[in-house]
Structure 1
Amino acid sequence: MAATDRIIVLPGDTIDPAVIPTPRRNAIRLGPGLRHVQATNSIVPTVAGQLITDHGKGSMWVESSTGHYIPAISDLVIGQITRSQGDYYLVNLSPYTPNATLPHLSFEAATKKTRPQLNPGALVYARVTLANRHMDPELECVSQTTGKGDGLGPLTGGMVFDVSLGMARRLLLSKPREYGGVAVLELLADEGLAFETAVGRNGKVWVGSDKSEANTRMVIAVGRALRETDERGLDVEAQKKLVRRIMKELSR
């Protein structure tokens, strides 16, 4: 589905099979606002909003402006260490969810001697491994199949910016510009800005670079561009104008 396409659905609507992803290997991944009805083998919206599909990842969901973050298995999240307790770190994901647990050894090549020593306030990029209403969420910073971090782990330096849950989900699409209409990071990079990002499905984006004064200004500018795009609902053309304005400000 192109970024210009907008399919608005209501609870109980029939979804056109033509827009449903058809992954070759894995089953379709249904996100928030959708459920599978086995009796009719159909996918039905449970909330009102915009239907978003990511054919690259074989996933789809309904984008709604309401609601708080609810952890789900395989979600990538940015959390803040609150304290260490036994063999676990307790990690805050949002003001509306209980602290998640992150094992001390759930990091790439971690042993009791080499594991990261994380103090309260430290940031981690992690994956949710357990999520249900009866237990606190559990996290990992290493793949259980490969033993590699694959980009997960402590986030050092940089800054974290809060965005809407919808914006976070769009940024995590395989092609954010094509499927979600979010081009601002790509446009800033095209202007020669060098930065790193990590996107948490819990509505947080970490932006990092080196610690020079100029790059601190750049990190703040990137975060501001993300938030303005999100809060104002800017389309790609408006994002281009925003990036041009930010580049002028940075050149002063």
Structure 2
Amino acid sequence: MAGGGACLAEDRIGQVVLPGDALLLPGHTQAESERLCLATSGPQKGRLVCGPGLRRGGDGLLVTKCGLLRYRGPGGPAGSGSGSGGTYWVDSQQRRYVPVKGDHVIGIVTTKAGDIFKVDVGGSEQASLSYLAFEGATKRNRPNVQVGDLIYGQFIVANKDMEPEMVCIDSSSRANGMGVIGQDGFLFKVSLGLIRKLLALECEIIQDLGQLYPFELVLGMNGRIWVRAKTIQQTLIVASVLEACEHMTAEQRKQAISKLLEN
């Protein structure tokens, strides 16, 4: 326990943290502290990334959400902490989504007003999406987007003072999997914590589900999942297992999938 009620971040990994808790970073100088960046993507080389549920505060981190403190090294799996790099975040079961720049999300087109689409992303306000924010889109070649369509895109603007703005192209103006999602799949919502588990590299849940049937899967950081299998029945089974995984252990999940395989 450090002075002033603060603890070393590496000593709290895997433990419950509460809003207002201060986490100190060992050997972290003031100059290094300024290199902290708010992000939810993978850590940048040599930098400490402050992920969901945390923000920079003085020479360390301040907790803004209740949950378990997690850490992932600069180039490896979650493990022991270090002040020199990697990613710290709070793993919570929050369901309300707050837009973050760079997040890939699934939205629903609600309004088409001139050159701008309004998209419901599950946040406190709708996001705007320009018709030019699609691969190959021009004034003459407009994308075929209708009210009610599902959109997979990413935020380029997301802060408390401005309306969220989405695009369906990457930095090279390529779709890279983003755009309008097919209507013949199934959309459902889960907690943000489960989404982060499913997006982890070599996720065992996805690998286990792959034993059942071939299926397409789109994961949004806003807690929305779109899935499509060969038949409606298979699609609903995959969706049901994904929803149940949130409250199942790895052993329970494997047993459930084994029963489905037997049937």
Bin for the TM-score computed over the shorter chain: 0.7 to 0.9
Query: What's the % identity of the aligned pairs?
Result: 31
SS of equivalent residue, structure 1 residue 14: strand
AA aligned to 2:217 is: T
Q: Quick one: which of 148, 155, 166 aligns to 2:174?
A: 148
1:31-57 deviations in whole A, cap 9, x for unaligned? Answer: 2221222x32x2232333111334459
The residue that corresponds to 1:162 in the other structure is 189
Cα distance in 2 for residues equivalent to 1:85 and 1:36: 38
TM-score w.r.t. structure 1 length? Answer: 0.79
Cα distance in 2 for residues equivalent to 1:148 and 1:242: 39
The unaligned stretches of length 5 or more in structure 2 are 1-12, 28-41, 77-85
Q: Which is worse superposed, 67-76 or 27-36?
A: 27-36
Q: Quick one: which of 91, 94, 97 aligns to 1:69?
A: 97
1:45-101 deviations in whole A, cap 9, x for unaligned? Answer: 23331113344594331122346211010011000011211111110011x421111
Aligned ranges for residues 114-193 of structure 1 at < 5 Å?
A: 114-143=141-170, 145-156=171-182, 157-176=184-203, 183-189=204-210, 191=211, 193=213
Could you say what the CA RMSD is over the residues aligned between the two structures, in angstroms? 2.5
Q: Quick one: which of 116, 127, 133 aligns to 1:100?
A: 127
The residue that corresponds to 1:245 in the other structure is 259
Cα distance in 1 for residues equivalent to 2:195 and 2:26: 26
Query: How many residues of Structure 1 are paired with residues of Structure 2 in the alignment?
Result: 225
Shift of 1:128: 0.8
Question: After the TM superposition, which segments of 4 or more aligned residues of structure 1 sit over 6 Å from their partners?
Answer: none
SS of equivalent residue, structure 1 residue 147: coil
AA aligned to 2:66 is: A
Change beyond 3 A, Cα 1:216–1:26: farther
Partners of 1:54 and 1:60 within 8 A in 2: yes
Shift of 1:188: 1.4
Q: Which is worse superposed, 58-67 or 158-167?
A: 58-67
AA aligned to 2:16 is: I
Query: Rg bigger for which structure?
Result: 2
Q: Quick one: which of 14, 17, 38 aligns to 1:6?
A: 14
Partners of 2:95 and 2:191 within 8 A in 1: no
Partners of 1:185 and 1:222 within 8 A in 2: no
Change beyond 3 A, Cα 1:23–1:74: closer
Partners of 2:227 and 2:239 within 8 A in 1: yes
AA aligned to 1:202 is: N
The unaligned stretches of length 5 or more in structure 1 are 177-182
Partners of 2:95 and 2:190 within 8 A in 1: no
The residue that corresponds to 2:10 in the other structure is none
Change beyond 3 A, Cα 1:54–1:104: farther
Cα distance in 2 for residues equivalent to 1:54 and 1:173: 11
1:117-149 deviations in whole A, cap 9, x for unaligned? Answer: 111111011101111222221000001x21111
